[in-house]
Amino acid sequence: MGLEIDHAEGVTLTTKDGKTYFDFISGIGVANIGHTHPDVVNAIKEQAEKYLHVMVYGETIQAAQVDLAEKLAMVLPNPLSQVYFTNSGTEANEGALKLAKKWTGRKRFISFEQSYHGDTQGACSVTGRDIYRKPFEPLLPGITFLPFNETKRLSEIDQSVAAVITEPIQGEGGIRIPDQDFLPALRARCSEVGALLIFDEVQTGFGRTGKLFALEHWNTVPDIITLAKALGGGMPLGAFVSSPEIMTTFSTDPPLSHVTTFGGHPVSCAAGLASLNIILKNDLTQRADQLGKKIKTALQGLAQRSSCIRAVRGKGLMIGLELCDADTTAAFVRKALNAGLILGWTLHTNTVVRIAPPLTLTEEELGKGLDIMDRALA
Ligand SMILES: Cc1ncc(COP(=O)(O)O)c(C=O)c1O
């Protein structure tokens, strides 16, 4: 986009030359509470004045880490109560994959076509699109990709599988929402064969889909959940969370099986706690649900007038607008940008426009954004 940012506040980015843009992709799934939230900035300042990095992971007790871990354990379903902080989403997935190998003693993984889990070698190995894996092979061996949302293929998960990793809603795959029975059936199959189930909620977490975590849409609890993006309130932070029973496997044979110097940086954790408190206090989850419905209704109205709109889908404020071809999609995004609205397409599906504004979006901002989309489409 080539925009040189001067400052960012709420939904708005302001460039050095004084132009303003509505960020309707939230820095890609990060700014759920809007940009530069004052509570987060204050939490960062307060923590920075106390201490920055003091010691590698877990060796000292740091209140910012403990408080955020405690809060996450409170809002996640049982038994997801032991938190391991990382710096990013891909590292959270690395930790989850290693944990599953160590706990089960098995080596194979199942993932899904069109998934995206990050770009370090393990996460890249389970990312479901050839063009992003091929240049980096050999990657992890023993990975099988199944089609997403095909319940009948789940019988291919067997006793040799350490874990199945999936996003509850595929983000980069084009905002793909599974049928109501898919994730419960996946849970049942994993339990049957003793494979762990990993939900990658890096993109779907923290109210984005109209629930605090997307797993709530299907009442399905994984063995490990991975988090990042909005977790840090704008600071770099990731986490994988599991039961104390499973997580304890990292403490022995060898002790310190998985360590990190900066994962759970106290400044990031302070920012993360402030951000989560804002989401909970202002019930932004509910707001995402309501605003998402409004946007979908408005886009469906546009679809009546444009033969180029193929589909409008999503949950909460994680919405995909599928257009007829890649060129039209790129032109639409470009026209919206020129009119002051930042949109984007998804990594694996270049005909799906991502619409994912901050959950703090006002009705007025929403109206203006929709107006720009309407004109760009015309
Ligand atoms: C579902 C999902 N998992 C993992 C990642 C990787 O996260 P990070 O870029 O923080 O490594 C992303 C990033 O887009 C993602 O969308």
Name which of 371, 190, 216 is nearest 289 in CA terms. 216
CA of 61 to the centre of ligand 1 (A): 28
Amino acid, res. 231 = L
Task: For ligand 1, say whether the CB of 117 is within 6 Å of any of its atoms.
Answer: yes
- Taking 80 as the threshold, does the pLDDT of residue 24 lie above it? yes
CA of 29 to the centre of ligand 1 (A): 9
Locate the ligand 1 atom nearest the alpha carbon of residue 28 and give its number: 14
Task: For ligand 1, say whether the CB of 320 is within 6 Å of any of its atoms.
Answer: no
DSSP state of 256: S
CATH topology of domain 5-30+283-377: Aspartate Aminotransferase, domain 1 (3.90.1150)
Element containing residue 342 per DSSP (H, E): strand 341-342
CA of 119 to the centre of ligand 1 (A): 8
Q: What is the pLDDT of residue 193?
A: 98
- Taking 90 as the threshold, does the pLDDT of residue 306 lie above it? no
Q: What mean pLDDT, rounded, does the chain reach?
A: 97
Q: What is the pLDDT of residue 77?
A: 98
Q: What is the pLDDT of residue 373?
A: 97
CA of 274 to the centre of ligand 1 (A): 22
Task: For ligand 1, say whether the CB of 199 is within 6 Å of any of its atoms.
Answer: no
Task: For ligand 1, say whether the CB of 175 is within 6 Å of any of its atoms.
Answer: no
Looking at the domain covering 40-281, what would its CATH class be?
Answer: alpha beta
Name which of 270, 240, 207 is nearest 117 in CA terms. 240
Largest pairwise CA distance in the chain = 63
Structural tokens at position 85: 């902080």
Locate the ligand 1 atom nearest the alpha carbon of residue 238 and give its number: 10
Q: Which pairing describes strands 161-166 and 318-323: parallel, antiparallel, or unpaired? A: unpaired
CA of 164 to the centre of ligand 1 (A): 17
pLDDT, one tens digit per residue, over 263-297 is 999 999 999 999 999 999 999 999 999 999 999 99
Task: For ligand 1, say whether the CB of 89 is within 6 Å of any of its atoms.
Answer: yes
How would you class 184 by CB atoms within 10 Å of its CB: exposed for 0-12, middle for 13-18, buried for 19 or more?
middle
Task: For ligand 1, say whether the CB of 201 is within 6 Å of any of its atoms.
Answer: no
Task: For ligand 1, say whether the CB of 232 is within 6 Å of any of its atoms.
Answer: no
Rounded mean pLDDT, 151-162? 98
Task: For ligand 1, say whether the CB of 90 is within 6 Å of any of its atoms.
Answer: yes
**Do 5-30+283-377 and 40-281 agree at the fold level?**
no
pTM attached to this predicted model: 0.98
Share of the chain above pLDDT 70, in %: 100
Domain boundaries in the chain?
5-30+283-377, 40-281
- Per DSSP, the three-state class of 313 is strand
